[in-house]
Structure 1
Amino acid sequence: MPKGSPELTASRKEEIVNACEKLYQTMSFKEITIKEIGAVTSFTRTSIYNYFQTKEEIFLALMQREYEEWSAEMFALAEENSAMSAADFADAIAHSLEKHEQLLKLLAMNHYDMEEHSRPERLTEFKLAYSASLDAVRACIRKFFPDTDCESFIFVFFPFMFGVYPYSVATEKQLEAMREAKMNFKMHSIYEMIYSCVIQLLGGK
Structure 2
Amino acid sequence: MPKGSPELTASRKEEIVNACERLYRTMSFKEITIKEIGAVTSFTRTSIYNYFQTKEEIFLALMQREYENWASEMDSIADMNETMSAGEFADSMAHSLEKHQQLLKLLAMNHYDMEENSRPERLTEFKVAYGASLDAVRACIRKFFPKIDDESFIFVFFPFLFGVYPYSVATEKQLTAMREANIGFRMHSIYEIIYSCVLQLLGGKS
Which residue is equivalent to 2:163? 163
1:81 aligned onto 2:81: yes
CA distance, structure 2, for counterparts of residue 136 and residue 204 of structure 1? 22
Distance of 2:198 and 2:12 partners within structure 1: 38
> What are the residue-to-residue correspondences of 1:44-123 with 2, within 5 Å?
44-123=44-123
Q: Equivalent residue for 1:32?
A: 32
Q: Deviations over 1:42-63 (max 9, x none)?
A: 0000000000000000000000
**Quick one: distance in 1 between partners of 2:110 and 2:204?**
33
Q: Quote the offset at 1:184 in angstroms.
A: 1.1
Aligned AA (2:186) = K
- CA–CA distance in structure 2, aligned partners of residues 43 and 194 of structure 1: 40
Provide the TM-score with structure 2 as the length reference.
0.99
> Which amino acid in structure 1 is aligned with residue 133 of structure 2?
S
Query: 3-state DSSP class of the match of 2:50?
Result: coil
What is the TM-score when the length of structure 1 is the normalising length? Answer: 0.99
Q: Give the ranges of 4+ consecutive aligned residues of structure 1 lying more than 4 Å apart after TM superposition.
A: none
- RMSD across aligned positions (CA): 0.5
Alignment-derived partner of residue 187 in structure 1? 187
Unaligned stretches of 5+ residues in structure 2 = none
Q: 2:154 maps to what in 1?
A: 154
Percent of residue pairs bearing the same amino acid type: 85
Give per-residue Cα distances to partners, 1:149-196, cap 9 Å, x unaligned.
Answer: 000000000000000000110000000000000101111110000000
Unaligned runs of 5+ in 1: none
Cα offsets for 1:52-88 (capped at 9, x unmatched): 0000000000000000000000001001100000000
